Amino acid sequence: MINKVRAFGAFWYDFIIGDDWRVAVGVAFAFTLTYIASRATTAAVWWIVPLAVVVLLPLSIHRVTRHTKS
């Protein structure tokens, strides 16, 4: 039973964190910011997560390509 629980946890860790923990933290921050902004104002805050993706994706790609250039 412990092995199944450990495997389940490892799957979710790999699924959420994946190869770049910085992107996972950035997305979690964007979700948190969206939640806080939606509770504080009545204005539409749908743009926060897409903006985070637009910022985080190129940074992640740049970081990977910078390390693989030889």
Residue 63's H or E segment, with its range, is: helix 48-68
Does residue 56 carry a pLDDT above 60?
A: yes
Does residue 51 carry a pLDDT above 60?
A: yes
- What does pTM read for this prediction? 0.75
- Check residue 44 and give its pLDDT: 81
- pLDDT tens profile 3-48: 999 999 999 888 888 878 899 999 999 999 999 998 987 778 889 9
Name the residue among 69, 61, 54, 70 with its Cα closest to residue 19. Answer: 61
Q: How many helices (H) and strands (E) does the chain have?
A: 3, 0
